[in-house]
């Protein structure tokens, strides 16, 4: 499933700005982002049981039920939903310790600070040695050690795993390359290969441990050959 972030703010202008920033942040991510918007705490509480979310961006100063009261009700019920308070009143920041808020952001929301909070949240959500891929099966946590190679297929990427499975990922191969560790190398504009599964490298193709063949482009031969040698001699 994609990550779902709920925005609870009674200001249409503030909610629209958060929606814009979330869309900008998620544009190059290897997973889909769903955004649910609520104009009041009451509306959120009514819908939350049937529409769970992964993270809540919550205004504090709202009519009737405040954001802080909403957070207290969630915690009283044992719900530890990650909450980021978005407020124009810095004096409320100390109250966040009571409800174990993930972070506070002051209005108007700073783009870089919001992105940093979201990046930290995603990093903690995914185990240290895994990456998160948005695939046809949903959002999956995958260990790079199990990836043999990645192949570009139009705007998507096919990921071949060591157990014989393949994953069809929504992210392009250049986006996926940024998530992979140093043991991966590009051998062709359409291929990224895990060097630990490479048996040998020739001038125009490489051979995998299982006997598979992957092409090598002329311009990338020197680079991948040097990386292959370094990988096995370090």
End-of-domain residue from the set 125, 150, 173: 125
154-163 pLDDT, tens digit per residue, is: 889 999 999 9
Q: Which of 4, 30, 25 is nearest to 141 (CA)?
A: 30
The range of the structural domain enclosing residue 156 comes to 132-233
The DSSP result for 168-222, as a single string, is EESS-HHHHHTTS-TTEEEEETTEEEEGGGEEEE-SSEEEETTS-EEE--GGGHH
The reported pLDDT for the residue numbered 230 is: 85
Tell me the whole-structure pTM to 2 decimals. 0.61
pLDDT tens digits, 73-119: 999 988 889 999 998 877 666 665 668 888 899 999 999 999 999 99
CATH no. for residue 44? 3.40.50.2300
What was the pLDDT predicted at 93?
63
pLDDT of 2 strictly over 90 = no
Q: What is the pLDDT of residue 1?
A: 45
- Spatial neighbors of 111 by CB under 8 A, at least 6 apart, are 21, 24
Q: Which residue has the higher pLDDT, 89 or 180?
A: 180
Q: Is the pLDDT of residue 71 over 70?
A: yes
Residue where one domain finishes, among candidates 67, 92, 125: 125
Q: Are 142 and 126 in contact (CB under 8 A)?
A: no
Tell me the average pLDDT across 175-193.
93
């Amino acid at each position: 499933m994609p990550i779902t972030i709920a925005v609870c703010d009674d200001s249409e202008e503030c909610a629209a700005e958060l929606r814009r920033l979330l869309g900008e942040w998620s544009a190059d991510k290897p997973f889909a982002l769903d955004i649910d918007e609520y104009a009041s705490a009451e509306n959120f509480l009514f819908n939350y049981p049937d529409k769970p979310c992964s993270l809540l961006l919550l205004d504090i100063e709202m009519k009737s039920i405040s954001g802080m009261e909403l957070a207290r009700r969630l915690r009283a019920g044992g719900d530890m939903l990650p909450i980021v308070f978005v407020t124009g009143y810095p004096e409320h920041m100390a109250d966040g310790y009571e409800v174990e808020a993930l972070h506070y952001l002051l209005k108007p929301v700073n783009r870089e600070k919001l992105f940093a909070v979201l990046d930290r949240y995603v990093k903690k959500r995914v185990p240290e040695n895994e990456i998160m891929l948005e695939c046809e099966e949903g959002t999956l946590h995958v260990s790079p050690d199990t990836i043999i190679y990645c192949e570009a297929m139009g705007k998507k990427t096919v990921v071949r795993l060591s157990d014989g499975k393949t994953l069809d990922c929504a992210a392009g191969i250049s986006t996926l390359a940024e998530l992979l560790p140093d043991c991966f190398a590009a051998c062709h504009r359409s291929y990224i290969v895990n060097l630990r599964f490479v048996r040998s490298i020739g001038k125009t193709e490489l051979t995998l441990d299982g006997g598979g063949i992957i092409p090598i482009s002329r311009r990338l031969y020197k680079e991948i050959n040097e990386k292959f040698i370094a990988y096995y001699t370090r």
